[in-house]
Chains A and B, each alone.
Chain A
Amino acid sequence: MSKPALLSLHQALRKGFQTLESNQKLWRSVLAECTPLMVSLGNLAEQLRALSRVQLSNTPLSAFPDLQQCLHFKLVQATDTVLGKLSEKMSSLQAARDAISNQVSGVFQVYEQNMDSLDLLTLTERSATAPSAADMMEWLQDAERHYRHQYLRRKTLLQTFRADDLSLLESAPKRWESLASPSAEDRITDTLFKVSLFMETQ
């Protein structure tokens, strides 16, 4: 009775998990690329801080009167460059997020289309090879929410960075690290593991 409907929902779910898997990899690799950028951001902030603390006219460098200004300019410029690179990375993250979001909403669309022939019992039925459809939909939704959260938090953090707020920049690598939520990441990996059998049974 509900066989074709369930099949098409399963098909959509499979596609969703595939997208999730590939984009999880993409997400991780982009994040890995961000780490050194964050470190150099922190370094630059440290250099700016040191420059602001040193009175150059009292040092052997007093022979270079405009050094303070020039160096400061250079440092700020370098900071800007790094921030620019980071925002490029953000667009990659956004792409990953959007891909997941679209796929997940696709799954829910398929569900809505077949809603009338899918009763709750069918949806919550679990088997040895596959979790219930309801569970899988939930997991996909959770994963989608996780990436939306992550993207938003990282983006907000990036937006708050300003070349003149040194203490914030200095703590940039730490803050960036603290945004990661390994437990949620693990949950997604876990989910992918749980559905691996289901994915293989085409």
Chain B
Amino acid sequence: MSLRLLSVDAADQGSQRCRVGPAVMSALGLRLGSPLRVSAAGGTCLCTAWPRADLAEGFLQIDLKCSSPSLLSHPPAHLSLDPDQLTPVPCLKLRGVKVTVVVQSVDFRKNTPRHLVHELVKDMLKGVYVCQRHVVNVEDFDTEIRYIVVEDTNPDSAEAGLITSKTGVEITGIQTLRHFRAQLQDQHRVPLGGLEEVSASLREMLQLPLLYSGTLSSLGVSCPRGVLLVGPPGVGKTLLVRRVVGEVGASLVVVRGPEVVGSRPGESEEMLRGVFERARAAAEEGPCVLFLDELDSLCPRRTGSSAPENRLVAQLLTLMDGMNQSDRFLIVGATNQPDSLDPALRRPGRFDREVIIGAPTLEQRKAILSVLCERMPVSPSVDLAELAQRTTGYVGADLSALCREAAMHAIRHNSQGSEEQAVAMKHFNEALKTVRPSCLRSSLGRTELPPVSWEQIGGLDEVKLKLRQSIEWPMRYPEAFHRLGLRRPRGVLLYGPPGCAKTTLVRAAASSSHCAFLSVSGADLYSPFVGDSERALAQLFRQARACTPCILFLDELDSLIGSRSGSQTPHSVQTRLLSVLLNELDGVGLKTLERRGPERILQAEGEEQCHTQQQLDFHEVCNKDVMIVAASNRPDCLDSALLRPGRLDHIIYVPPPDQQTRLAILKVCTEKMPLDADVCLEELATQTELYSGADLENLCKEAALLTLQEESMEASAIKHKYFLQSLHKMSPSLTAQQISSYQTTHR
């Protein structure tokens, strides 16, 4: 028979009674008021047995006066207990106990004389059954003293002991409730993936001044006071701080920037002072870290006018300068826009150290994924390395969203009848479609990219091969390039007549090499404001670098950037964009803030033991750059500086389709069309000299429409004559002269 757990009667609150039916009491050999231990899911608690007033069986009411700490934060949730979860315990009168007292406020801890606390604690504990490492809840007394943690008992007994008026009580320490709670919470830590390097350095920064302040001061070194964490949103700055602070054993005072900002004048400053006061008080009990999250919203760059933010910045500066060496706490700030911070904050003595966390690299993503998948039932088909490869530009938060989404898919799928309870690769594939990297969110060149396979492009085998050589191979097999001492190209220029699948080719290359793909054309960058276009281009490159490996596709490069020699106005937007582009191509625009991952050097000859691992390493080292692919149908208009080696050094001509290619294109285009038996694609291919790929696609479409027009909506096949009719109506978009001009430009 199981016992139903009911909540405690108000009258029993704080009585340490456990109400059970008399039959259960007799069965367990329990006397009135004799101690028993209740083991619940989350921990145990110590009670005294009393029969229920109505003597009913089958119910259980426990007053959690004395319980294990875990039960304090998570009261037993199960609604029923087994009688064998109740065990009578032998009990003796204690000679002495050692306790830690948990009080509500810092003021009480500071102002109350020790002897008084002692007196109160002794009174509170009288008549209570206790056990080592259990917590006595004294909230029912409604005083400042909230909990009493029993550290040690004399005689040393693992079972229960009764505290009488003769029991000596020794107080080993007094803590505040906040501190106590923080300690309790430390027991459930969040795992962290891929941030080992950063967390180690942050840990060192915190540990030195907090734990060895004496040593530091004896060396005459002043401790650093502030650490600034910089990184894009979602990389885990906040999580990292919480984790490291927990590891170091410091208490944490968290302030999110917007929380502090109040509406009344002076309110924000007051709140900020209060925060520092809180940190100072917490620091008296042990090392403490004051964490200012979203610092940029709190302290934006000061402007000329007397905006309220200016006063807040000034207040923060004053407070940071006012910290002296005896204040044993550190300030950690986090921001994703370090440039918008007031520069005064980043001077030595304030935030003197800066830790940069970039978007995770391949290796780091793999680590994050493995941490995330640890707690999920993942089917063995899931290849984390591949997943990591396909999630370029994803930050930690994105990856966790990805896993959640995949799990949701799995649940939805499984609820439809399947018995399997694991998250499979297909669920991840589904999730990848909905969860996009936040690095690229709101990016200019972000394009919804339906994957294009090489097979979807007819013909052009030679061009395809070249493209694979210059784009897909270096991305996918960097180790082979390295082995043969090949330098991967920095940029690729595709040129050729319009409508000959340049854009589609690049898309196919991007989807086959599994990397992020950003694409812009001239119109995207245009802006009526001076300097805006340049900034947009630079920003594009920055985002591309944040999620390498990445292909940055500049379509219609000639319209975007002109030539310096040809243009009429020397300082037009085009010329300025050109200089930005040249800068970025040469890597001048790289900022320290964009650093990602640990610096690594390739080992000359790795052992064969772990081939995939090594491969990942190669990916990591070699794919730090952005691959720039440009397309143009007027290469003669391009500035020659762009085409020098080291910039767009691979130049690939995409020719108009020849007869064979046209046939292939037609085959691809008509793949889904029901063709009549008399249709001869070969004949069409020979007749369509100077037709581009786009023209051919159009031709097929026209023929199909014509069929519907001429016959009826019920037409089931396209006849050859319709193709010929459409062909007569159309004229090729290319001219022989055009083609010869391409061939002379770069051959």
Contact = CB atoms under 8 A, between A and B. Distances in A.
A, B co-complexed: yes
A137 B32 contact: yes
A152 B14 CA distance: 14
A145 interface: yes
A141 B140 CA distance: 16
A148 B140 CA distance: 11
B11 A187 contact: yes
Contact of B126 (A137, A148, A156): A148
A202 interface: no
B126 A124 contact: no
Most B CB contacts (10 A, CB to CB) among A119, A124, A141, A156 go to A156
Interface string B12-56: 001100000010011000011100000000000000001101010
A153 B14 contact: no
Interface of A: 108, 111, 115, 119-121, 123-124, 134-135, 137-138, 141-142, 145, 148-149, 151-153, 155-156, 159, 187
B123 A152 contact: yes
Contact of A152 (B33, B51, B53, B124): B124
Given A138-B50, A155-B120, A156-B120, 12 more contacts: A115-B31, A120-B22, A120-B25, A123-B32, A137-B33, A138-B53, A142-B11, A149-B142, A152-B120, A153-B142, A159-B112, A187-B11
B116 A134 contact: no
B34 to A, nearest CB: 9
Contact of B123 (A124, A148, A159): A148
Q: How extensive is the interface on chain B, given as a class?
A: 20 to 34
Nearest to A149: B141
B14 A159 contact: no
A155 B31 CA distance: 34
A141 B16 CA distance: 11
Contacts, number: 51
A35 B55 CA distance: 42
A156 B117 CA distance: 9
B141 A152 contact: yes
A152 B15 CA distance: 15
Interface of B: 11, 14-15, 22, 25-26, 31-33, 50-51, 53, 55, 112, 116, 120, 123-124, 126, 140-144
Nearest to A135: B53
A76 to B, nearest CB: 18
A115 B33 CA distance: 11
B51 A120 contact: yes
Contacts of B143: 152-153, 156
A192 to B, nearest CB: 16
Contact of A124 (B51, B116, B141): B51
Contacts of B31: 115
B116 to A, nearest CB: 6
B711 to A, nearest CB: 93
Nearest to A126: B55
Report, nearest first, the 7 A-B pairs whose CB atoms are least far apart.
Answer: A156-B143, A120-B22, A152-B123, A120-B26, A152-B141, A124-B51, A159-B116
A148 B143 CA distance: 13
16 contacts: A111-B32, A115-B31, A123-B32, A134-B51, A137-B32, A138-B53, A148-B126, A149-B14, A152-B141, A153-B141, A153-B143, A155-B120, A156-B141, A156-B143, A159-B112, A159-B116
A1 B605 CA distance: 93
